[in-house]
Structure 1
Amino acid sequence: MRKLALLVVLLGILLLAGSNVAVAQTTATQDVTIVVNSIDTISVSGNPGTITVSGPLPATVTENTTTMDYSTNGTNLKITAALDLDYAAGITLSVELTPGAGEGTAASKVALSTVAADVVTGISNVSATLVPITYTADVLATAAPNAPGGETHTVTFTITL
């Protein structure tokens, strides 16, 4: 009888202790990491039309048939513009972008050169579309004629810090 009583007591202790005993799991877990990189895009609608100067010099002629789209998930970025080569003496090309509210702060009429210049600043978490681009050619009387082909250079726009 004592053995039976002892067995019952031991069994009770095991049952109470068993509540802390690990049992087989039917679940599994994983840690999932998501990394969001800085995503910056910029594009233009095409090439502007030819800027032709036919009037008396000095002359200022504008061209505004193209637009720009840009987006970023970054903060406090800017758009710069630069020429691949400077125009001949007496010819200056300037650019001005006209972003909408909340799409950055535009600099007014920036003269372009081979050194990148800020044209829009303060760009943060934005998706801007159809932002007008206005080019202005300022031509002095000292500029040499270059007709009929003219002088073509590439303007590069860049989103940067």
Structure 2
Amino acid sequence: MKAKIVYASMTGNDEDMAEMLEEDLQDYGFEVDSSDVSFTDATDYLDADLCIMITYTYGEGKMTDETADFYAQLKELDLNGKYFAVMGSGDKTYGEHFCENVFDFEKAFKQCGATEIVPAVTIENAPDDDDIDQIDTAAEEMNDKLNA
């Protein structure tokens, strides 16, 4: 089972999440490829069974240029028959915009025909122990559903 993790990270929080998830999935036997959104083309998802996006939300929901470009590419893909998961970080001081980009990507994957494998994982700022447990649990659920 091939998994492609694409992450966008300004402070390192989402890169940390990507590394944790990659390690978890590898422990379950997934073949995992991870890359920064700045150096990735959305068509890389076409070679994966499981497409994962980990992104942050900047301020009041604005995507950075590289994330917006990737998002636009993603929306052009046909991902029928693929599974997806989204995760990301945000700051709750932005209220209704907390992790907004995570949910933007969730909608885009659904529009592309992919099937959501686990609910979106959202964390505030850097992952703490509870957040790490959420990531571990999501990886376990992905394994249970795809490698059963």
Tell whether the structures are fold-level matches, with TM greater than 0.5.
Answer: no
How does the TM-score come out when normalised to structure 1?
0.26
More helix by share: 2
Q: Which has the larger radius of gyration?
A: 1
More strand by share: 1
How does the TM-score come out when normalised to structure 2?
0.27
